[in-house]
């Protein structure tokens, strides 16, 4: 795709475009901005090796947007700004596929593969067949059409003949190029097939947030990918972080008189070509063999490593390499004869649902948990499975005594796919939901727009204990040794009644307890003491405000100088923050209005916890360099640039991104270039050498 020289050039170009604030040749600047943004996207989304910081990327993007807004006639359909959607789609129109999207025949073992190999040789009328082997990605199938190098249509698989046109959602996937140099090989129209997938890491984080929001997590990455593609709000699609792999060219037309290029003679070359053109493809994972035994060996070895890939794979696909042979072999109405899937062992098993227990969580939500006969799935024994809420139980029509199909995809939590109703005996029993809290006996309530029944007694013992456990947990205050067992024990003994008690535990009583030696007491004391230094975002997260996960806690913490400022933030103001919608805002505002929560915050402050946003305070603090702005250019000799910038900020100054009339000082290192010239031209900027800068800092104390 990019040569090493291209990369160097584009990187430099990106850096200089960030600094340059205007240019007479705006047409060229627009072109350059597009090139560097496409390059940065490719590095980030296809290569997984980011080259720019978020800030730098945003700066470039904003510049491009600004220029295109000023010169709308220069906007092209493949400009990176065109990924940004305007409004919400009403529905996705049906479209017919140029070539039907077939599925694949399955094989499960070596014998199946040998049979398939024999059939291929008969059909192709040759003993010499090359096979390509590549992963079978477990996501949602898509079709992309490029015309004259530009993406013109994206569609779902649908029933294989008709799909849904989802171009706007496809554009939200930055791994998919909006244009590619197909015309260099005289390809005018081309349809590419592939799979939209979601990284396991992204999927887990997404589910974690859903659970924190009181929603049922999505079953597996496949459902997440296909569900997301059909969301009507493209902004939401973008947030979900989908990616894609393109693995098949199903159709193309060449310009008049053009010869079929070498890239379109074999599957292997086609996939390498797609990769060269900037597409994510299985280029690196693909192997070519000419003996089926080698294919089989690879399949077995690869299955052992299936968890190492960042996304789910449910098998491998074996394809005849030469397109001429593929054409000779043809297809059935369901699947091509020149390709086959080798399916990995299913991560499903059946078991019997024995009973349902009801657990009360930190927010009072009552969660049904299925207890099944223990069964091994994908290397772990599963006996307990969350059913999330009453709706899930009703939708799946689960009964006690049902034989159930259980799935555990990858490292993801297990779930019940469905009951096997055909195995019912008539002895199965309905699942009854409790009307009262199984812990404190309070009447359960259900809000109109929610699936969960809740115990609304905030002093319900389980909720109290769960709140304290959450506060001490790894992602919150990270107080090791204050886990479930100890919190429960201390609570039962009356040593720990609410969160602030953690900071004045009765150590004499604890030392007298069985299992608490001097060493473990000292460790716990140390962990509690250390937790006082945790930053504000962890405290906010630890307070367990509904719908406030780690990301939102960070957003809230960085918006204020001290947690108390949030007491005055109303829903409207909270909604101005990134990723804070009305639901989250209402919950946050409600939390900080409550007297008992303000009391807890007062007590925590008295105990010496860090409730101020240190970073923000720094910035706001006045200092000798207050209201002064700095920019560094060229190579510094005595300092790292980051150190120099920190010195400025520590003294109340701030750093600018480019030379403008707002800049007070330009600090010039070796080989300073355009910035220095520009500053000189402006005439309002004071130019300092590195030594002069250091002297200034020293003088400022
Ligand atoms: S080739 C005409 N290659 O698996 C052949 N399919 O179960 C087109 N899939 O519908 C398919 N990874 O959505 C092919 N490397 C791969 C694949 C792959 C996943 C999906 C595809 C297909 C389904 C069949």
Distance 244 CA to ligand 1 centre (A): 13
> For residue range 358-379, what is the model confidence (pLDDT) as tens digits?
999 888 999 999 999 999 887 7
> For residue range 216-233, what is the model confidence (pLDDT) as tens digits?
777 788 889 999 999 998
> For residue range 577-633, what is the model confidence (pLDDT) as tens digits?
866 888 899 999 999 999 999 999 999 999 999 999 875 544 445 788 887 888 888
Distance 103 CA to ligand 1 centre (A): 6
> For residue range 305-344, what is the model confidence (pLDDT) as tens digits?
988 888 889 999 999 999 999 999 999 989 999 999 999 9
Are 468 and 543 in contact by the 8 Å Cβ rule? The answer is no
Mutation to probe ligand 1, out of 195, 306, 318 (largest number of atoms < 8 A from CB): 195
Comparing 294-303, 524-533, 572-581, 686-695, the range with the smallest average pLDDT is: 572-581
Q: What is the mean pLDDT of residues 549-574?
A: 90
Assess whether pLDDT exceeds 70 at residue 212. no
Comparing 252-256, 338-342, 557-561, 622-626, the range with the smallest average pLDDT is: 622-626
Assess whether pLDDT exceeds 80 at residue 23. no
Q: Which helix (H) or strand (E) holds 511?
A: helix 507-511
Known catalytic membership, residue 136: yes
Assess whether pLDDT exceeds 70 at residue 575. yes
β-pairing verdict for 403-407 and 415-419? antiparallel
> For residue range 407-437, what is the model confidence (pLDDT) as tens digits?
886 656 788 989 999 999 999 999 999 999 9
Secondary structure of 399-419 as H, E, C letters: CECCEEEEECCCCCCCEEEEE
Helices (H), 305-365: 323-329
Mutation to probe ligand 1, out of 106, 196, 247, 270 (largest number of atoms < 8 A from CB): 247
> For residue range 74-117, what is the model confidence (pLDDT) as tens digits?
999 999 999 877 677 778 999 999 999 999 999 999 999 999 99
Residue 362: per-residue pLDDT: 87
Helix (H, G, I), strand (E, B) or coil at 365: strand
Assess whether pLDDT exceeds 80 at residue 661. no
Nearest Cα residue to atom 9 of ligand 1: 136
Nearest Cα residue to atom 22 of ligand 1: 103
Q: Which helix (H) or strand (E) holds 577?
A: none
Share of the chain above pLDDT 90, in %: 66
DSSP result, 586-637: HHHHHHHH-HHHHHHHHHHHHTT---B-HHHHHHHS--TTTT-EEEEESB-S
Residue 244: per-residue pLDDT: 97
- Taking the C-alpha atoms of residue 423 and residue 441, their distance in angstroms, rounded to an integer, is 37
Higher pLDDT, 638 or 622: 638
Tokens of 534: 């945790």
Residue 142: per-residue pLDDT: 97
Mean pLDDT, rounded, of the chain: 90
Residue 217: per-residue pLDDT: 73
Distance 136 CA to ligand 1 centre (A): 6
Mutation to probe ligand 1, out of 134, 137, 267 (largest number of atoms < 8 A from CB): 137
Distance 95 CA to ligand 1 centre (A): 20
Residue 309: per-residue pLDDT: 85
Distance 317 CA to ligand 1 centre (A): 7
Q: Which of 43, 136, 185, 651 is catalytic?
A: 136
Tokens of 167: 């171009």
Q: Which residue has the tokens 């079953």?
A: 219
Q: What is the mean pLDDT of residues 489-515?
A: 94
Which neighbouring-strand residues pair with 329?
none
Q: How confident is the model at residue 684 (pLDDT cuts 50, 70, 90)?
A: confident
Nearest Cα residue to atom 13 of ligand 1: 141
Residue 617: per-residue pLDDT: 45
Residues with CB under 6 A from ligand 1: 102-104, 134, 136-137, 141, 193, 195, 247-248, 317, 336, 339, 341
Q: Which helix (H) or strand (E) holds 355?
A: strand 348-360
């Amino acid at each position: 795709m990019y040569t090493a020289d291209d990369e160097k050039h584009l990187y430099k170009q990106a850096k200089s475009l960030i600094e340059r604030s205007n240019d007479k040749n705006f047409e060229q600047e627009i072109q350059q901005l597009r090139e560097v943004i496409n390059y940065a996207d490719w590095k980030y989304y296809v290569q997984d090796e980011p080259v720019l910081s978020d800030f730098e990327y945003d700066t470039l993007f904003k510049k491009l947007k600004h220029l295109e807004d000023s010169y709308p006639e220069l906007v092209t359909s493949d400009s990176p700004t065109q990924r940004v959607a305007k409004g919400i789609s009403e529905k996705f129109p049906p479209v017919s596929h140029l070539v039907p999207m077939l599925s694949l025949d399955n094989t499960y073992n070596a014998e199946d593969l040998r049979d398939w190999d024999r059939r291929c040789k008969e059909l192709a009328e040759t003993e010499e067949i090359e096979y390509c082997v590549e992963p079978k990605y477990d996501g949602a199938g898509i079709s992309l059409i490029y015309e004259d190098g530009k993406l013109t249509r994206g569609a779902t698989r649908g029933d294989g003949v008709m799909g849904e046109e989802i171009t706007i959602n496809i554009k939200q996937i930055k791994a998919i190029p909006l244009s590619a140099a197909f015309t260099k090989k005289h390809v005018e129209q081309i349809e590419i097939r592939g799979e939209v997938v979601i990284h396991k890491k992204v999927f887990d984080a997404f589910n974690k947030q859903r659970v924190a929001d009181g929603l049922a997590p999505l079953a597996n990455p496949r459902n997440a990918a296909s569900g997301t593609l059909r969301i009507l709000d493209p902004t939401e699609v973008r947030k979900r972080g989908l990616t894609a792999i393109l693995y098949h060219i199903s159709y193309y037309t060449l310009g008049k008189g053009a010869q079929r290029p070498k890239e379109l003679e074999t599957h292997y070359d086609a996939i390498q070509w797609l990769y060269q053109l900037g597409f994510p493809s299985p280029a690196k994972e693909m192997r070519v063999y000419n003996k089926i035994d080698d294919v089989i060996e690879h399949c077995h070895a690869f299955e052992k490593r299936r968890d190492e890939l960042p996304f789910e794979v449910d098998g491998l696909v074996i394809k005849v390499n030469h397109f001429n042979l593929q054409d000779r072999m043809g297809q059935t109405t369901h699947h091509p004869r020149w390709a086959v899937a080798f399916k990995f062992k299913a991560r499903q098993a059946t078991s019997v649902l024995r009973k349902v227990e009801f657990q009360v969580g930190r927010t009072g939500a009552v969660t049904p948990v299925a207890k099944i006969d223990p069964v091994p799935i994908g290397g772990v024994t599963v006996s307990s499975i969350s059913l999330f809420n009453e709706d899930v139980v009703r939708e799946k029509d689960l009964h006690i005594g049902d034989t159930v199909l259980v799935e555990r995809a990858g490292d993801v939590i297990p779930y019940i796919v469905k009951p096997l109703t055909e195995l019912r005996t008539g002895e199965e029993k309905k699942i009854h939901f409790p009307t009262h809290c199984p812990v404190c006996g309070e009447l359960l309530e259900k809000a109109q727009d929610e699936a969960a029944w809740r115990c609304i007694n905030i002093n319900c013992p389980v909720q109290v204990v769960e709140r304290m456990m959450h506060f001490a947990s790894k992602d919150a205050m990270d107080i090791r040794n204050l886990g479930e067992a100890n919190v429960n024990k201390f609570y039962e003994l009356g040593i720990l009644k609410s969160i602030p008690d953690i900071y004045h535990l009765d150590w004499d009583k604890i030392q007298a307890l069985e299992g608490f030696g001097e060493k473990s007491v000292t460790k716990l004391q140390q962990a509690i003491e250390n937790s006082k230094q945790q930053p504000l975002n962890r405290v906010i997260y630890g307070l367990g405000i509904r719908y406030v996960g780690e990301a939102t806690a960070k957003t809230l913490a960085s918006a204020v100088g001290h947690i108390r400022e949030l007491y005055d933030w109303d829903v409207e103001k909270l909604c101005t923050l990134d990723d804070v919608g009305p639901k989250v805002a209402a919950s946050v505002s409600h939390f900080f209005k409550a007297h008992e929560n303000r009391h807890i915050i007062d007590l925590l402050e008295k105990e010496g916890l860090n409730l101020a946003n240190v970073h923000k305070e720094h910035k706001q603090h006045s200092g000798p360099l207050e209201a002064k702005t700095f920019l560094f250019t060229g190579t510094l000799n005595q300092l790292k640039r980051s150190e120099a910038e920190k010195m400025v900020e520590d003294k109340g100054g701030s750093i600018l991104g480019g030379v403008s009339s707002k800049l007070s000082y330009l600090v010039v290192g070796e080989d300073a270039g355009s910035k220095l010239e520009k500053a000189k031209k402006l005439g309002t900027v004071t130019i300092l050498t590195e030594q002069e800068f250091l002297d200034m800092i020293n003088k400022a104390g």
